[in-house]
Amino acid sequence: MNKNSIIIIGGGIAGLATGIYGQMNGYKTTIFEMHTLPGGLCTSWKRKGYTMDGCIHWLVGSNPESGSHIMWEELGALKDVEIVNHEAFVTVENTDGRVFHMNTDIDRLEKHMLELAPVDAAVIRDFCGTIRKLGSLDMPMDEPRGLGGKIKGAFAMLPMAGVFLKYGKMNAKQFAARFKDPFLNKVWNSMFDMPDFPMMGLLYTLGWQNKKDAGYPIGGSLPFSQSIEKRYTELGGEIHYNAKVERILVEDNHAVGIRLTDGREFRAGRVISAADGFATINYMLGGRYRDPELEEYYRKSEIFEPLVMVSLGVKRDMADQPQTMVRMLDKPITIAGKEREYIQVKHYGYDPTLAPEGKTVVMAMFDTKYDYWKKLAEDPERYDAEKKQAALTVISAIDKYLPGFEKDVEVVDVATPLTTERYTGNWQGSFEGWRLTTQNMSKSFTGGLAHTLPGLRNFYMVGQWVEPGGGLPTAGISGRNMIKRLCKEDGKDFATIRN
């Protein structure tokens, strides 16, 4: 079969990006997507006049001046789209009334923190100075594979050597412990409440926020995905929906095509899976080509815990409220069997396309366990009751600080890890694949996990299950780098076209 023809499994951002760069480079690509829509996790859904957004909080590369923006131009993602850059990443209110604004402008953040906690001046100055320094770096788009690439990458990083030495092995909890002020200590502890979340991840995020390169595109997640899909089809790409791949066809240890659940078979010279990694390896390939290193990774590594998302449509203007608010609670609440000492509430009042005039979409997200919901789902009544309970708990917690909120709620929507699994096939309902830790952070700088499986030819993997840390830019970069790699294998120059 002609190696120029490529089958791509999955029409999420990684699959669409692979298709777009494939089309730009003379490959004939066809995407098979099990859902009826493009975008995978990057999606939204309508409920009685409201649009519940399921993804983008911040998009790295949203600033047209930044290097990372180039990829979104190539993917046709942000053309004529208005970007909102928030003044504060998050606002935290303590039980004693103290308020912390995590201002995205680093000078304002430094001033604010110094006022709140002069006792921590040295930590604050060092922290903000580091963000300023890192903020000049774009998200790395090119995979520093091979000695040449690695040396080039190392040179680019040289001015940051001190930062990596100091913060490279530190996690967010260790950083929080540096604050003597109890409130700031608590704030930083709750901010990235994941074990071993790398400080570098936090510093980069704030650096990108500071240079207004991590904004929100008006319209939200589904229109963002649909623009990329449009770009793909305009470049001649073909996409089949309602097309769930059941098996990757292999002959003589070469991937030669796919079989869909409806029995139809399609053939191509190469197969790229941009779908869930676990299902690809264990179901679509029947576990025949397991890489021991990857297997160990699946056994030992932590995923981003799945989420239970409570989205509300409220007949209330929330413009006077911070866009993301964390409130420390006097009395913990229980959601999905876990006690929570704080609640994080986000509203989308800044995007008028998501709700009718004067009304707002409000959302609260909580980490949760896949098995908890899987077990509940054995009894549909209990499962539904738990969803209802989660929504009621959230509404009543918000009503305590926004009196009358409860009666303004018009629409309630609760998504669990099983919802994520059902619509996108992601393992354990994870929303971003492998959780970033101080241990695997270096992998995401050096091109992720292996993108092939041992003994299987003409087969490749892209997306959040081969790039620890996940995220939209990473998914796009993953597809871009894959086609670059195929161009190299085929002895041709990699080409891109901006939109």
Ligand X SMILES: Cc1cc2nc3c(=O)[nH]c(=O)nc-3n(C[C@H](O)[C@H](O)[C@H](O)COP(=O)(O)OP(=O)(O)OC[C@H]3O[C@@H](n4cnc5c(N)ncnc54)[C@H](O)[C@@H]3O)c2cc1C
Which residues of the chain form contacts with ligand X (CB under 6 A)? 9-15, 32-35, 40-42, 54-59, 244-245, 274-276, 279, 307, 424-426, 431-432, 463-464, 470-473, 475
Question: Taking the complex as a whole, how short is the minimal distance between the CB of residue 330 and ligand X, in angstroms?
Answer: 28
- Minimum distance of ligand X from residue 349's CB (angstroms): 17
Q: Are strands 324-335 and 88-93 parallel, antiparallel or unpaired?
A: parallel
Question: From the CB of 91, what's the least distance to ligand X, in Å?
Answer: 18
Torsion region of 35: left, alpha or beta (phi above 0 gives left; psi -120 to 50 gives alpha): beta
- Both tokens of 106, joined, read 């680093």
C-beta of 58: minimal distance to ligand X in Å? 5
Q: How far is the CB of 213 from ligand X (least distance, A)?
A: 12
29: left (phi over 0), alpha (psi -120 to 50) or beta: beta
Nearer to ligand X, 169 or 369 (CB): 369
Taking the complex as a whole, the smallest distance from the CB of residue 228 to ligand X amounts, in Å, to 10
Q: Among residues 283 and 401, whose Cβ is nearest to ligand X? A: 283
**DSSP strand pairing (5-9 vs 214-217):** unpaired
| Nearest approach, Cβ of residue 102 and ligand X (Å) | 15
Least separation in angstroms between CB 184 and ligand X: 25
Nearer to ligand X, 25 or 478 (CB): 478
Return the number of the residue (128 or 258) whose C-beta is nearest ligand X.
258
Q: CB of residue 3 vs ligand X: minimum separation in angstroms?
A: 22
Cβ nearer to ligand X, comparing 20 with 34: 34
Q: Which is nearer to ligand X, 31 or 128 (CB)?
A: 31
Q: Which is nearer to ligand X, 120 or 305 (CB)?
A: 305
Q: How far is the CB of 31 from ligand X (least distance, A)?
A: 8
User: Do 202 and 441 form a contact (C-beta atoms < 8 A)?
Assistant: no
Q: Quickly count: other Cβ atoms within 10 Å of residue 161's Cβ.
A: 11
| Shorter beta-carbon distance to ligand X: residue 184 or 313 | 313
Query: Which of 282, 389 has the CB closer to ligand X?
Result: 282
Cβ proximity to ligand X, 89 vs 127, nearer residue? 89
Q: Which is nearer to ligand X, 128 or 256 (CB)?
A: 256
Question: Whole-number minimum distance, CB 164 to ligand X, in Å?
Answer: 23
Contacts of 314 (CB under 8 A, 6+ apart): 359, 360, 361, 362, 405, 408, 409, 410
Q: Which residues of 94-126 are buried (b: 16+ CB within 10 A; e: fewer)?
A: beeebebbbbbbbeebbebbeebbeebeebbee
Q: What is the 3-state secondary structure (H, E, C) of the chain?
A: CCCCEEEEECCEHHHHHHHHHHHHCCCEEEEECCCCCCECCCCEEEECCEEEECCCCCEECCCCCCCCHHHHHHCCCCCCCCEECCCEEEEEECCCCCEEEEECCHHHHHHHHHHHCHHHHHHHHHHHHHHHHHCCCCCCCCCCCHHHHHHHHHHHHHHHHHHHHHHCCCEHHHHHCCCCCHHHHHHHHHHCCCCCCEHHHHHHHHHHHHCCCEEEECCCHHHHHHHHHHHHHHCCCEEECCCCEEEEEEECCEEEEEEECCCCEEECCEEEECCCHHHHHHHHCCCCCCCHHHHHHHHHCCECCCEEEEEEEECCCCCCCCCEEEEEEEEEEEECCEEEEEEEEEECCCCCCCCCCCCEEEEEEEECCHHHHHHHCCCHHHHHHHHHHHHHHHHHHHHHHCCCHHHHEEEEEEECHHHHHHHHCCHHHCCCCECCCCCCHHHHHCCCCCCCCCCCECEEECCCCCCCCCCHHHHHHHHHHHHHHHHHHCCCCCCCCCC
**Residue 28: CB minimum distance to ligand X, A:** 19
Q: Tell me whether residue 123 or residue 258 sits nearer to ligand X (CB atom).
A: 258
Q: Which is nearer to ligand X, 184 or 309 (CB)?
A: 309
* Closest distance of CB 365 from ligand X, Å: 6
For ligand X, which residue has the nearest CB?
Answer: 12
